[in-house]
A and B are shown apart, each in its own frame.
Chain A
Amino acid sequence: MNAVVKRFPVRLDIRRGAVDMTHGSGGRAMAQLIDELFVKHLDNVLLRQANDQAAFVVPAGRMVMSTDGHVISPLFFPGGDIGSLAVHGTINDVAMSGARPLYLSAGFILEEGFPLADLERVVASMAHAATTAGVPVVTGDTKVVERGKGDGVFITTTGVGMVPAGVEISGDRARPGDAVLVSGSLGDHGVAIMSSRENLEFETRIESDSAALHGLVGDMVAAVPGIHCLRDPTRGGLATTLNELARQSGVGMLLQEDAIPVKPEVTAACELLGLDPLYVANEGKLVCICSEPDAARVLEVMQAHPLGRQAAIIGSVIEDRHGFVQMQTSFGGSRIVDWLAGEQLPRIC
């Protein structure tokens, strides 16, 4: 980036400066922000070409594409921030097809007055997440909205990836008799976010599980290409994801509450707030549905990966024209695990 010094004799004051309307105007200020902040951190061959698009060669085969908008509050939370989340979220959406993610794009909507130091922290975190995952951000966009019309920063990322031959993963492929697996403990992300919200601060050691899952998925599909469904249980938690899959596939599910991994700290926080961990968001977990004979092998591969150590078989797919997700409770009864209605709210009494 030797062009930086030549084009902008006075460097951007990242330590004390803030986003203003000129940073989205398309003029010199915007070019400087891109060079000295975005490209500085996200630097790679394609981005450095500074075109309005990135051009790359792809192998022949089935390509997937996914996009995700990130509007989280607070922007920084235990275990991550909006930057790392924006990278992991889209990588995971691409990976849930069984694909190997290749490239990302990032669109930023910045609010006037947002400190450049915070923006740099977010972008550096994105860069770190993208580098670690081996999935570069190759094109991007920046807009600025007036103060009061945003919430600091919104980030939309889009990703593309290639599906290996022979892999046909889709939410409509769950069949009665299939096994339902999760890759680890549930509710960590949502509880970490809640613990750092302004009016709800409570002491907990729980960190967000935000992570890129394509490595885990790669190992899984390499071992068992015939996996039926993969999905990451983000907003709405495990309960909502399983209901989506049940509806798409036209089946029911029967879970064993005892088998569902939840950390004691997460259970405790949910108890305190009157929430159900099955509805709390995750950002580094996946649900897998595969044929019963494949389940043991898939579980073994998951548990061998650092992001799947706590993986477990939590239930099975059953025939049910109502599409109910039912659960045998640890207590010995049974109930439905329903769609989330509205938002989860703490109880009063």
Chain B
Amino acid sequence: MRLAEELEGVWAILEKDLKAYYFKPPNISWGILFPIVLALSFSLRNPEGLIDLAPGLIAMAALFGTTSMEAIVITFEKRVGALERLQLAPINSASIIIGKLLGGTVFGLIISSVMTFITIVFLGAEILNPFAFILVLLLTNVVHSALGALVAVSVKEVFEAQTLSNYFRFPMIFLCGVFLPLDEMPQAFRFLGRLLPLTYSVDAFRGLMVEPRAIFIDLLVLIGFCLFLPYLSVVKFSRNQE
């Protein structure tokens, strides 16, 4: 009964967020345009090696798709007192955070799916194991949405959320093997890259699209982040109430 009530709360928050924020025409059009522009700019720069970049582009689309909206939605609601309304309801903090991060996950899934579609249809990329690919895509979006939620619950203002998001987003593009494989980087960068979830997403996508190999460890690490980051967000969110 209690679980059913929590799930009802999660679903209500997800449904409301999609309707009130994510599925607004400007966001949807940005969500579709962003991967197209990204793919187009890379294809003009280097038409030959684009398939090699496909895993990084998909991971990057997920990273930006989830974190860009997620952090803003939470901090905006915090600012106008709407998040307080959720805290007043008979559901726990975990349900609020899960509801919130699922909104970011759905939006990120849409953007990264558009990017996947582009890489397959227009760039000729192939997916070797569709089931594993969908799993990695899902985990990638959950992990980065949770990262966005963690940033949002840690700050007060929308601009702080955006600034803090950029602090980790842009270094991640360079440290996580999006453009340059991790093995070709200096030792220190390689170490830093191994601490970031995007590295495992790019690695897994690469294993499923470009260099066929087992992605078991990547999956395990992504699942670990999937549990750890939302947990941290819930702890931080609950502490804010004290």
Question: A and B, one complex?
Answer: no
A contact residues vs B (CB 8 Å cutoff): none
